[in-house]
Amino acid sequence: MPKVDRRIVKSQEAIKKALVELMSEKGFDNITIQDIADRANVNRGTIYLHYLDKFDLLDKIMEEHINNMSNFCESAAEMDWIESTVHCMEYFESNYLFFSTMLVSEGAPYFRNRFLKFNIEEFKNDVDITKGKNAGQDEEVIVQFVATAYVGIVEWWLKNGMPEPPRVMAEKVGDLLERIV
Alpha helices per DSSP H over the chain = 6-26, 33-40, 44-50, 54-75, 81-94, 96-99, 109-124, 139-159, 166-180
Q: Structural domain tally of the chain? A: 2
Give every CB contact of residue 38 below 8 A, 6+ residues apart in sequence: none
Q: Closest Cα to residue 103, out of 141, 146, 148?
A: 148
Q: Is the pLDDT of residue 69 over 70?
A: yes
CA pair distance 163, 158, nearest whole angstrom:
8
Same domain as 68, residue 45: no
Straight-line distance from the first to the last Cα atom of the chain, in angstroms, rounded to the nearest whole number: 41
Same domain as 157, residue 135: yes
Residue 15 is part of a domain; what is its CATH number?
1.10.10.60
Summarised one tens digit per residue, pLDDT across range 92-130 is 999 999 998 888 765 567 888 899 999 999 888 888 777
Q: What pLDDT shows up at residue 165? A: 94
What's the angle, vertex CA 101, arms to CA 109 and CA 124, rounded to 5?
55
Same domain as 147, residue 176: yes
Same domain as 73, residue 44: no
Same domain as 70, residue 46: no
Kindly state whether residue 57 falls inside one of the protein's structural domains. no
Averaged over 162-175, what is the pLDDT? Answer: 91
Residue 89 identity: M
User: pTM, whole model, 2 decimals?
Assistant: 0.82
Kindly state whether residue 5 falls inside one of the protein's structural domains. yes
Same domain as 72, residue 1: no
Q: Closest Cα to residue 112, out of 104, 120, 121, 103?
A: 103
Q: What pLDDT shows up at residue 3? A: 74
CA pair distance 107, 98, nearest whole angstrom:
10
Summarised one tens digit per residue, pLDDT across range 6-57 is 888 899 999 999 999 999 898 888 999 999 999 999 999 999 999 999 999 9
Same domain as 66, residue 34: no
Same domain as 2, residue 91: no
Residue 129 is part of a domain; what is its CATH number?
1.10.357.10
Kindly state whether residue 56 falls inside one of the protein's structural domains. no
Domain housing 21: 1-51
| Burial class (CB within 10 angstroms; exposed 0-12, middle 13-18, buried 19+) of 164 | middle
Q: Closest Cα to residue 22, out of 101, 89, 137?
A: 101
Same domain as 121, residue 68: yes
Same domain as 173, residue 116: yes
Q: What pLDDT shows up at residue 107? A: 56
Same domain as 102, residue 14: no
